[in-house]
């Protein structure tokens, strides 16, 4: 074997090794690209799932608030119907409780409308929206819902007081009439 033949053989072997190295590098690059794509897709799915969980939690909070406000609205409406059916002397004795109907009922009804609008807005949010923005929005919504809850609690207290005073006023009026 001559020197030229051995040089050619070494060059061919080096060329084959270089070709195999290139193939290994290309294959490694392809695997890395697939891994990166898979990682990005998994991250995006996790982000969307986190968004959906946060949105579902907020929707549940809004729906609960809307339901309790709606029950309060019904209670106030029922109390108003009972009050309106009472005799004039009983109504006069309980005139200070009419703010329940003139002040609190509109606030509770507004709270029901607001909760419905909030629910519609949150339900329509696109899952590609930023989860951080949702969390910030959630804090603002919770503050609004807390205010509605305070109005509901005051209104329900007044309904309870009205019912209690209504019994007393009826007794007084019946005792006062000959």
**Domain ranges in the chain?**
47-176
Instruction: Give the long-range contacts of residues 48-51, CB within 8 A, separation 24 or more.
Output: 48/127, 48/128, 50/131, 51/127, 51/129, 51/131, 51/134
Backbone dihedral angles phi then psi of residue 82, each to the nearest 5 degrees: -65, -45
| Average pLDDT score over residue span 105-128 | 87
Least confident range of 15-19, 86-90, 124-128: 124-128
User: pLDDT value at position 113?
Assistant: 92
Average pLDDT, the chain: 87
Backbone dihedral angles phi then psi of residue 168, each to the nearest 5 degrees: -65, -40
Q: Among residues of the chain, what percentage have pLDDT more than 70?
A: 97
| Average pLDDT score over residue span 96-100 | 85
Is the pTM higher than 0.85?
no
With cut-offs at 50, 70 and 90, classify the pLDDT of residue 177: low
With cut-offs at 50, 70 and 90, classify the pLDDT of residue 136: confident
């Amino acid at each position: 074997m001559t020197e030229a033949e051995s040089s050619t053989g070494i060059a061919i072997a080096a060329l084959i090794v270089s070709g195999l190295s290139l193939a290994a590098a290309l294959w490694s690059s392809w695997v890395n690209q697939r891994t990166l794509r898979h990682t990005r897709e998994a991250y995006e799915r996790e982000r969307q799932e986190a968004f959906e969980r946060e949105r579902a939690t907020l929707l549940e909070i809004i729906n609960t608030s809307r339901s309790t406000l709606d029950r309060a609205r019904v209670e106030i409406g029922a109390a108003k119907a009972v009050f309106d059916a009472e005799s004039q002397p009983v109504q006069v004795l309980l005139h200070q409780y009419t703010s329940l109907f003139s002040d609190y009922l509109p606030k509770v009804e507004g709270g029901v409308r607001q909760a419905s609008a909030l629910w519609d807005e949150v339900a329509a949010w696109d899952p590609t929206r930023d989860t951080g923005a949702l969390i910030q929005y959630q804090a603002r919504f919770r503050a609004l819902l807390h205010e509605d809850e305070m109005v509901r609690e005051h209104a329900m207290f007044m309904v309870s007081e009205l019912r209690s005073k209504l019994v007393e006023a009826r007794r007084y009026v019946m005792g006062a009439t000959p």
